[in-house]
């Protein structure tokens, strides 16, 4: 319970915030790292806070971009036995012991999710978000897959197998958006709010 209270109190006054997810293994010369950094910088320059898991890789890239863009750089760090020290670009840090509390904070305090190339943890966050929206346990918000080539195999399988067999509807697939550039991400986020958001 204390983690919920601390999270709500610490994050309650954030400006509109966008959460980034992706591989913790991405290095600074990885194209995905560079794209996350550039996208977060663009969003920060347009008034958005950036929230990540606070660790290395894509998380570091997004926090770095937020800092470079003059935006608020937030890290929701998880205490794990062999992981992770917060990256040096986090300016507001909240530590969590429990994944489920941390997940609530991401959904509660973000107006969009940007999903960069990643592994199991990234897929977990991706499908948690889409399931919450599909089942109307969360307000609808953009879930944006960046680098369409990385996600194409997954999307083809979902459309060709999951949708075709009636497990998910074509309308539900529309929860997922694909973007290649920071400008596309910014446009999707701005268009998703009623009235369109300007910050």
Do the beta carbons of residue 188 and residue 142 sit within 8 Å?
yes
Do the beta carbons of residue 49 and residue 72 sit within 8 Å?
yes
- 65 falls in which pLDDT band (50, 70, 90)? very high
Domains and CATH numbers, the chain: 2-6+16-187 (3.40.50.450)
- Tell whether pTM > 0.85: yes
* Letter string b/e over residues 171-198, b meaning 16 or more CB atoms within 10 A of that residue's CB: ebeebbbbbeebeebbebbbebeeeebe
- Give 68-123 pLDDT, tens digit per residue: 999 999 999 987 776 678 999 999 999 888 888 889 999 999 999 999 999 999 99
- Please list, in sequence order, all residues whose beta carbon lies within 8 angstroms of the beta carbon of residue 25, skipping any fewer than 6 positions away: 56, 57, 119
pLDDT of residue 129: 96
Report residue 157: phi and psi, to 5°. Answer: -65, -45
């Amino acid at each position: 319970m204390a983690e919920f209270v601390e999270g709500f109190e610490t994050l309650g006054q954030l400006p509109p915030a966008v959460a980034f997810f992706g591989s913790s293994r991405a290095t600074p010369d990885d194209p995905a790292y560079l794209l996350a950094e550039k996208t977060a910088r663009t969003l920060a320059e347009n008034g958005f806070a950036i929230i990540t898991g606070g660790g290395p890789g894509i998380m570091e890239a997004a926090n770095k971009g937020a800092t470079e863009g003059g935006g608020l750089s937030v890290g929701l760090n998880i205490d794990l036995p062999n992981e992770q020290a917060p990256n040096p670009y986090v300016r507001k840090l909240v530590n969590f012991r429990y994944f489920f509390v941390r997940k609530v904070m991401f959904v509660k305090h973000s107006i969009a999710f940007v999903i960069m190339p990643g592994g199991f943890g990234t897929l977990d966050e991706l499908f948690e978000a889409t399931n919450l929206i599909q089942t109307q346990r969360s307000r609808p918000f953009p879930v944006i897959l960046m680098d369409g080539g990385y996600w194409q195999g997954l999307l083809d399988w979902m459309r060709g197998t999951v949708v075709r067999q009636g497990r998910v509807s074509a309308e539900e697939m529309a929860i997922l958006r694909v973007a290649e550039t920071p400008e596309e991400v910014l446009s999707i986020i701005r268009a998703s709010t009623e009235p369109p958001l300007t910050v």
